[in-house]
Structure 1
């Protein structure tokens, strides 16, 4: 791979040279193994260690199919779906790969005894398959993680409704935590010129997810003046939700876990911050079997103190079980709870009286369609939304990176260098970058 790395780092390699470059038949990738899915059996989720299950090893280069591209990955990032994959919760991802493999002769490639993980990348196109017209070898790109077949009419209004909708690198193989990735060409987006490889790689999944969940008509449909309750407001998802709320003229009420994280969201411009470690919310009893409505009421009172007596228009929900009952309670009459993921548990409980009698809505949101991903990436390129990278790891340390995210020891997004030999490379527009450098580095060193 060194000759590919050198061609990219040179900065002046022509498309013709990239098209002719030799691609090895094996490459380095972060994987989990099918024969190890039971390795953590009997352990609590928190005790499951991604460093034991993630392997960094050589794997065979997959066949390139129609409408696909092979991308040299300069950098990637950790998402919670990589944590789920690595601890085999709530189910092993090999079931996804087996089902995808039964779809067609071409998708059989994905059903392997190993799973190359990762749902983000920034890199350079090496090869494109038959039918690809928009992207050429040498193009600097990022990838969103929506994989769709679009052979069913259901997917042609909103591609997230395609019955064959999958998340690349989670429900498909050949993901981005590797030196080479296989993607559908309609996953590709232009790399923002003012960002480094690791900065450009990091927003993909969470930025587009936050855009759909909060801004898009398909979920939150946020408007100016809305009061938005954002759980984990300095985290991977919440850091982007906070930016979108502020950009869109809304009022974010940012829930964070410590003062350090409170400083981050205040530096973005958020005025209303709730430090849950100081407030010591106890939404559940000690054994986690019963919720405490008085704590929901206390949260609602605290929110009204911050907003001048107003309740929440939209809740940006992703913790799940721990917070969902409170989220439903504090939302105003006719308001909306948008939910994606469930990092504290998938079995949500809430008092339905506060939902049905007050005409509130629970709206599910899952990643984003191509248009939404494009719009979210465009805002990054325009410097209106910024990456939230706090720390970057080498590919060989991806297990530690996943463990940090698993234990919530990170801020914002955790980047992973693949072919990039060091941080700070890949910037093509230094002048534009200089205008936004403080915002780009907001999460660094924390």
Structure 2
């Protein structure tokens, strides 16, 4: 790996020189193990600790197939699907790998007793399989996480509708939290030249998801003048949704859970902000009963901010905790567009507010290649900026994932893979200088945990970690955690 890293750090290495580099038959990666999927049985979700299930270990290099590429990963990032994988909720991802492995001889290699996780990367193409012509060794790239086969007609109008659509690094193996990743070549996009490796790695999944959900005709189709309610407006998804709303001539109504998070929204240019914690909005009386009076108080607060208008679009992703309020808050004929359910999948809402007011609920999941490319192009142009708040070493990926699980983070959390330090990979310093304040907007906003420990290392797939650490308590109850900020 040293020769590969030296070539990348040199910055002027030719494609021919990259093609001549020897690619090792093993590499370091972040994994979960199939024989540990029951390790958290009986625990509440909040008590399941990714630091115990994620391993940093050597794994075998998978075979390079047609239409595929090896990428040397300089940096990656944590998404909530890594949290789900690490705590084996709502199900073990090994079921995904088993089903994928049965689809073809090429896919069989994904069905292993370990799963290399991660759905973001920034790095350099090392080699490509037969049939790849655009992406040559040495190209600096980022990857979107859509994996499709496109052998069925259903996916050819919108690849997200392909029957074999999967999320790379979550429903497939060989993801981006590693020194080397295996991707389909049609996942690759140019790395924004003015960003560091860790900054460039952070937008991929959430930026593309927010773009489709809010801007694309496949989502809400936001237009100028729309009022957009954004849950977790300073978080991983919400930070991009807020930027898209501002760039697109809409007015974001930002929902956050602290004064610090409200200040980040203001730095992005948002003016209409609701601090849920400060204003004590509680949409549930108890675990089973929602409080419609709180919906009404929430709607009244929105109208106070907008000058009497309800919101045209609700950017939803918390799910169960907020969905009833979201359906209520949308204007007559408005849209609730949802891409996740981090607080619970079983949503409840009063359907009278939906059908009698002609509202619509739109489901949105990641993005097709065109949407991901357009979202990445906006980053490359300096119109949309990373929301990276902190980067961890790969050995500390368990702590990074734990922070996202416990909502101790802000924006996106990055992970250095091959990159020996932060700040590397900038190829356009002049453009960077013009946008430096916006690029660093989220920096330092995530509290540094008071006690950290490193992810267990394993010498081979299947060996068990020592779990005798003293796990730091968060000091926060489940009701106090702000799931919408994930």
- Same fold judged by TM-score > 0.5? yes
SS of 2:289's equivalent?
coil
Where does residue 423 of structure 1 map in the other structure? 422
Residue 303 (1) aligns with residue 302 (2): yes
Give 1:88's aligned residue. Answer: 88
Distance 1:236 1:95 in 2: 27
1:17-416 correspondence to structure 2 within 5 Å: 17-286=17-286, 288-416=287-415
CA distance in 2, matches of 1:142, 1:339: 25
RMSD: 0.4
Q: In structure 2, what is the Cα distance between the partners aligned to 1:399 and 1:166?
A: 24
Poorly superposed stretches of 4+, deviation over 6 Å: none
Q: Give the count of matched residue pairs.
A: 445
SS at match of 1:334: strand
Deviation at 1:279, TM superposition (A): 1.1
State the Cα distance separating 1:22 from its structure 2 match.
0.2
Q: Give 2:8's aligned residue.
A: 8
Superposed displacement of residue 119, structure 1: 0.1
* Per-residue deviation, residues 237-260 of structure 1 (Å, max 9, x unmatched): 000000000000000000001000
Cα displacement (A) at 1:285 = 1.7
Deviation of the 1:281 alpha carbon = 1.1
Cα displacement string for residues 37-84 of structure 1 (whole angstroms, at most 9, x for unaligned residues): 000000000000000000000000000000000000000000000000
Unaligned runs of 5+ residues in structure 2 are: 446-486
Deviation at 1:12, TM superposition (A): 1.0
What runs of 5+ residues in structure 1 fail to find an aligned partner?
A: none
Shift of 1:355: 0.3
Q: Distance in 1 between matches of 2:172 and 2:76?
A: 16
Q: Structure 1 residue 175: deviation in Å?
A: 0.1
- CA deviations 1:382-440 (Å, max 9, x no partner) are 00000000000000100000000001110100000000000000000000100000000
Q: Secondary structure at the match of 2:290?
A: coil
Distance 1:67 1:285 in 2: 53
Secondary structure, counterpart of 2:404 in structure 1:
helix
Note the C-alpha offset of 1:270.
Answer: 0.3
Q: Deviations over 1:1-57 (max 9, x none)?
A: 111111100111110000110000000000000000000000000000000000000
1:420 & 1:438 partners in 2: Cα distance? Answer: 23
CA-to-aligned-CA distance 1:172-192 (integer Å, 9 cap, x gap): 000000000000000000000
Measure, in 2, the Cα distance between the counterparts of 1:307 and 1:432.
Answer: 35
2:352 alignment partner, SS class:
helix
Q: What TM-score, normalized to structure 2? A: 0.91
